[in-house]
Amino acid sequence: MKVGLFIPCYIDQFYPMVAIATMQLLEKMGCEIVFPLEQTCCGQPMANSGFNTLSKGCDRNFVANFSDVDFIVAPSGSCVLHVKEHLADAQNPEAAEFIRTHIFELTEFLTDVLKVEKLDAHFPFSVGWHNSCHGQRGLHLSSMSELVAPHFSKPISLLNMVNGLQLHLPSRIDECCGFGGTFCVFEEAVSVKMGKDRIKDHEENEVEVIAGGDVSCLMHLEGILKRKGSKVRVMHIAEILNSQK
Amino acid sequence: MSKSHAALAAEFTADENRTDWHDETLWWVRQKRDKAVQQIPEWEILRQWASAIKEHTLSKLDEYLAIFEREAISNGIKVHWANDATAHNEIILKIIKEHSISKIVKSKSMLTEECHLNEYLHQSGIEVIDTDLGERIVQFRGEPPSHIVLPAIHLKKEDVSETFHEHLGTEKGNNDPQYLTESARTHLREKFIQSELAITGVNFAIAETGGFVVCTNEGNADMGAHAAKIHIACMGIEKIIPKAEHLGVFTRMLARSATGQAITTYTSHFHRPRPGQEMHIVIVNNGRSRQLGREDFRNSLKCIRCAACFNTCPVYRRSGGHSYHTAVAGPIGSILNPNLDMKANADLPFASTLCGSCTNVCPVKINIHEQLWKWRQVIAEEGLVAPSKKMSMQVLGYILSKPSLYRLIGKTGRWVLRHMPLLVKFKSLNPWYKQREMPEAPSESFRDWYKKNRRS
Ligand code: SF4
């Protein structure tokens, strides 16, 4: 199975360890990984700011890079959702359609395509799980507190396979952290307040690590944690699932 | 233009204790809603039905409005049509003048807020008493409501006590809610008894019967309408449902979504004037037909004003209703108001993280967060985004479509972050850094690592 690894731009630049963990994890599961070197970004920053029209160049570049694989996997619910919902290429509509239907967020790929049932992972820490909205409400990686529907969570069932990990859920199980793309700078006050409140909720459980599936949310929470000199770390789920003794 | 949502929100959050209190109070309402809906196994089916009934009605709105008018007239109700807020206000003023009336009470109607009826009548020397307790409180304070169901939710009991002391002469510093409510009740009772004309809103207007339904928890709509010799009900054109049998779907959802109650305390059905009474209905367009014509935004007209989307919205809970600078705040306001005045409300679709919780709680399944995204595209298209933001997006779009340029900038960016942190961290230029640290810049990107470690 040939898997094209899509590494969102801010992960490539600032959180390479998340990309490395994603790659190693998928390789352990027997996937053949390719990382198309000319990839850049999914175009979401422009589109969510109202300039979807400006993301056409990104779209074309994306299609050119990811046409030659069986699946595309990314460690980011938000970017995957954007590609699924908005990727378009007038010159190459079929290739774009293939990508939209074959791109997966990491945990859904592990759960739904690779059907992972056990993991050789060890992570002896107290971990709080942060549900990122786009993965949850957009990609349906887990049930949502607003709906009357059966409970499930793809990332949490994976975390439950990790030895030594103690999982703690915050009291507001799926409230947004306030990152929201450019919202984090244009609505700085509310954005930071939302982040502080999520952190407080996790702190009540005395977690050592706040884990999530979207680095953008984690980067925002990390920024607040560091500013207040907290010892709590943020980690992407790929890093945890890839941890061994 | 008034201050932007972001600026007003920053003012609101500056008082962190009050922000916490506001957030927690509304979160508590959201939790009550969750408990109530979790007891209805068929909840998601009800949402589907409610949405479908509204969808159908909107597709034949002209027909149902005509049927409603015909039936209402045959019931003895006088029907008026208003194409905009001014027409609405003029119709009401005319009725008041014809009867030379000065004592007027009004129960909650977001439409009259949208049309600024009180201010309009005030200019003609006519005072309207708002009889919903929360609305009366904000009216005393000269403020607009901050929430469509809980108009004074931004105020603490100390604020209410202060307001009542000033306007009703209650004991200074007595914050006992029981005492304060009792004083307001006595005050309002007097107004009800004296009132000659009562204005109410409309929650549902039923085409087949020509009747309408008003839902309140305080019974103030009934008190007003029963005491006065003239009743004027104001409704937007989207309040129509085809048949009485459809009503139950909505009344089961409205109060559960709004406050977690099984049903509003009063669900009052009005069909015809009682002997000697005059009953009017003012049916208002005010931009709704324009919204109906916008395919992407049409189903915002399904809204039943339950405010569930307000209570769940993590931004609303922390920025307060006044930060939306419009009569209808919150997520639904952010997709309705750009239709009324795109320029003045161009900031509102951006006052969201697009988390999608609003869409999930909405009893009529309006895709609120998707419409927020779509409004952003329309607003950018219309050139209503700040030029600096537009420019930065153009630059970003260009860089990200050119892989080699992206790599170069990435390298430089990390180099700058590592070597000149003070420059990047120049606070006034970087809103990120005001209350957050920047991510640490690693020496190599994943791309560099990959080339070294994986490529043969
Ligand atoms: S948009 Fe939906 S949730 Fe919001 S007030 Fe209207 S009906 Fe209620």
Domain ends where: B238, B268, B289? B289
Stretch A204-212: mean pLDDT, rounded?
Answer: 98
Q: Of B257, B350, B351, B364, which is closest to residue B312 (Cα–Cα)?
A: B257
A212 touches chain B (CB under 8 A): no
Task: Give, in order, the Cα–Cα distances in Å from B199 to each of A178, B89, B206, B269.
Answer: 41, 12, 19, 15
**Is B340's pLDDT higher than 90?**
yes
Residue B49: inside a domain, yes or no?
yes
Residue B341: inside a domain, yes or no?
no
On whether both A131 and A109 belong to a single domain, the answer is no
pLDDT at B418: 64
**Is A127's pLDDT higher than 70?**
yes
Residue B396: inside a domain, yes or no?
no
- If phi > 0 it is left, if psi is from -120 to 50 it is alpha, else beta; for residue A181 that is left
DSSP per-residue codes, B244-270: GGGHHHHHHHHHHHHTS-SS-SEEEEE
Residue of A nearest to B353 (CA): A180
Whether the CB-CB separation of B231 and B271 falls below 8 Å is answered with no
pLDDT at B422: 53
Whether the CB-CB separation of B354 and B369 falls below 8 Å is answered with yes
Q: What is the pLDDT of residues B94-112, one digit of tens each?
A: 999 999 998 899 999 999 9
Q: What is the pLDDT of residues B177-210, one digit of tens each?
A: 999 999 999 999 999 999 999 999 999 999 999 9
More confident position, A182 or B79: B79
- Summary mean pLDDT of chain B: 93
On whether both A131 and A108 belong to a single domain, the answer is no
**Is A104's pLDDT higher than 60?**
yes
CA angle B26, B288, A49 (to 5 degrees): 60
Q: What is the pLDDT of residues A149-161, one digit of tens each?
A: 999 999 999 999 9
What distance in Å separates residue A13's CA from the closest CA in chain B? Answer: 5
Residue A121: inside a domain, yes or no?
no
On whether both A176 and A131 belong to a single domain, the answer is yes
* Ligand 1 centroid from CA B366, angstroms: 7
* Ligand 1 centroid from CA A245, angstroms: 50
Q: Of B3, B9, B39, B13, which is closest to residue B261 (Cα–Cα)?
A: B39
- Lowest average pLDDT, out of B2-16, B128-142, B402-416, goes to B402-416
Which long-range contacts does A22-27 make (Cβ < 8 Å, 24+ apart)? A22/A73, A22/A75, A22/A106, A22/A238, A22/A242, A23/B450, A23/B454, A24/A242, A25/A106, A25/A110, A25/A238, A25/A241, A25/A242, A26/A73
Q: Is the CB of B307 under 6 A from ligand 1?
A: yes
SS (H, E, C) chain A: CEEEECCCHHHHHHCHHHHHHHHHHHHHCCCEEECCCCCCCCCHHHHHCCCHHHHHHHHHHHHHHCCCCCEEEECCHHHHHHHHHHCCCCCCHHHHHHHHHHEEEHHHHHHHHCCCCCCCCECCCEEEEECCHHHHHHCCCECCCCCCCCCCEHHHHHHCCCECCEEECCCCCCCCCCCCCCHHHHCHHHHHHHHHHHHHHHHCCCCCEEEECCHHHHHHHHHHHHHCCCCCEEEEHHHHHCCCC
Range of the domain at B192: 17-289
Interface of B with A in 294-313 (CB under 8 A): 312
Residue of A nearest to B392 (CA): A46
Q: Is the CB of B379 under 6 A from ligand 1?
A: no
Q: Residue B159 belongs to a domain with what CATH number?
A: 3.40.50.10420
On whether both A8 and A66 belong to a single domain, the answer is yes
When computed from its CA atoms, the radius of gyration of chain A, rounded to whole angstroms, is: 17
Place of tokens 């600032």: A14
Task: Ligand 1 pocket test: pick from B43, B257, B288 the residue with the most ligand atoms within 8 Å of its Cβ.
Answer: B257
Residue B421: inside a domain, yes or no?
yes
Burial of residue A120 (CB within 10 Å: 0-12, 13-18, 19+) is exposed
Whether the CB-CB separation of B206 and B243 falls below 8 Å is answered with yes
On whether both B47 and B193 belong to a single domain, the answer is yes
pLDDT at B426: 58
Whether the CB-CB separation of B216 and B265 falls below 8 Å is answered with yes
Q: Domains in chain A: how many in total?
A: 2
Domain ends where: B289, B313, B345? B289
Residue B436's identity, in one-letter code, is R
- If phi > 0 it is left, if psi is from -120 to 50 it is alpha, else beta; for residue A178 that is left
**Is B416's pLDDT higher than 70?**
no
Could B385 and A144 be called an inter-chain contact, meaning their C-beta atoms sit closer than 8 Å?
no
**Is B31's pLDDT higher than 70?**
yes
Q: What is the pLDDT of residues B259-301, one digit of tens each?
A: 999 999 999 999 999 999 999 999 999 999 999 999 999 999 9
Residue A119: inside a domain, yes or no?
no
Residue A120: inside a domain, yes or no?
no
**Is A72's pLDDT higher than 60?**
yes
Stretch A191-218: mean pLDDT, rounded?
Answer: 97
Q: Best mutation site among B369, B400, B402, B405 for testing chain A: the one with the most A CBs within 10 Å?
A: B400
Residue A118: inside a domain, yes or no?
no
In sequence order, which residues have a C-beta less than 8 Å from that of residue B417 and are 6 or more positions away? B424, B438, B440, B441
On whether both A99 and A166 belong to a single domain, the answer is no
More confident position, B173 or A43: B173
Number of residues that make up chain A: 245
B418 touches chain A (CB under 8 A): no
| Angstrom distance (rounded) from CA B114 to CA B337 | 10
Interface of A with B in 65-94 (CB under 8 A): none
Stretch B18-42: mean pLDDT, rounded?
Answer: 98
Could A20 and B449 be called an inter-chain contact, meaning their C-beta atoms sit closer than 8 Å?
yes
Going by pLDDT thresholds of 50, 70 and 90, the confidence category of residue B405 is confident
Residue A101: inside a domain, yes or no?
yes
Q: Of B314, B433, B312, which is closest to residue B19 (Cα–Cα)?
A: B314
On whether both B181 and B51 belong to a single domain, the answer is yes
> Which residues in chain B touch residue A38, judged by CB atoms under 8 angstroms apart?
403
Burial of residue B455 (CB within 10 Å: 0-12, 13-18, 19+) is exposed
Domain ends where: A53, A81, A113? A113
| Angstrom distance (rounded) from CA A41 to CA A55 | 9
| Angstrom distance (rounded) from CA B313 to CA B354 | 10
In sequence order, which residues have a C-beta less than 8 Å from that of residue A134 and are 6 or more positions away? A77, A78, A81, A82, A214, B354, B356
In sequence order, which residues have a C-beta less than 8 Å from that of residue B332 and are 6 or more positions away? B300, B303, B305, B309, B310, B358, B366, B368
Residue B324: inside a domain, yes or no?
no
On whether both A140 and A232 belong to a single domain, the answer is yes
Could A223 and B438 be called an inter-chain contact, meaning their C-beta atoms sit closer than 8 Å?
yes
Q: Best mutation site among B17, B384, B396 for testing chain A: the one with the most A CBs within 10 Å?
A: B396
| Angstrom distance (rounded) from CA B415 to CA B443 | 8
* Ligand 1 centroid from CA B258, angstroms: 9
Residue A70: inside a domain, yes or no?
yes
On whether both B73 and B199 belong to a single domain, the answer is yes
On whether both A84 and A44 belong to a single domain, the answer is yes
Whether the CB-CB separation of A197 and B441 falls below 8 Å is answered with no
Residue B269's beta-bridge partner residues? B213
In sequence order, which residues have a C-beta less than 8 Å from that of residue B94 and are 6 or more positions away? none
Going by pLDDT thresholds of 50, 70 and 90, the confidence category of residue B71 is very high
Residue A211: inside a domain, yes or no?
yes
Which ranges of B296-386 would DSSP assign to H, the alpha helix? 308-312, 314-319, 330-340, 357-361, 368-381
Going by pLDDT thresholds of 50, 70 and 90, the confidence category of residue B428 is low
Half-sphere exposure of A209 (CA within 13 A, CB side): 16
Output the pTM of the full model. 0.94
More confident position, A105 or A185: A105
The 8-class DSSP code of residue B416 comes to: H
Task: Give, in order, the Cα–Cα distances in Å from B155 to each of B14, B21, B151, B260, B321.
Answer: 16, 10, 9, 21, 11
Q: Domains in chain B: how many in total?
A: 2
- Give the three-state DSSP class for B48: helix
Nearest Cα residue to atom 2 of ligand 1: B362
| Closest by Cβ to B396, choosing from A45, A188, A193 | A45
pLDDT at B415: 66
Interface of B with A in 341-400 (CB under 8 A): 349-357, 359-361, 373, 376-377, 379-381, 385, 389-390, 393-394, 396-400
On whether both A143 and A105 belong to a single domain, the answer is no
Going by pLDDT thresholds of 50, 70 and 90, the confidence category of residue B407 is confident
Q: Phi and psi at residue A4, in whole multiples of 5°?
A: -85, 125
Residue A33: inside a domain, yes or no?
yes
Q: Is the CB of B333 under 6 A from ligand 1?
A: no
> Which residues in chain B touch residue A14, judged by CB atoms under 8 angstroms apart?
414, 439-442
Task: Ligand 1 pocket test: pick from B332, B334, B336, B368 the residue with the most ligand atoms within 8 Å of its Cβ.
Answer: B332
Q: Residue A166 belongs to a domain with what CATH number?
A: 3.40.50
pLDDT at B49: 98
* Ligand 1 centroid from CA A89, angstroms: 35
Q: What is the pLDDT of residues B202-211, one digit of tens each?
A: 999 999 999 9
Domain ends where: B289, B306, B341? B289
- Give the three-state DSSP class for B15: coil
Domain ends where: A58, A80, A113? A113
B443 touches chain A (CB under 8 A): no
Q: Of B306, B307, B293, B292, which is closest to residue B237 (Cα–Cα)?
A: B292
Domain ends where: A113, A134, A164? A113
Whether the CB-CB separation of B46 and B225 falls below 8 Å is answered with no
Going by pLDDT thresholds of 50, 70 and 90, the confidence category of residue B425 is low
Residue B425: inside a domain, yes or no?
yes
**Is B421's pLDDT higher than 60?**
no
- Lowest average pLDDT, out of A108-117, B167-176, B443-452, goes to B443-452
Range of the domain at A69: 2-113
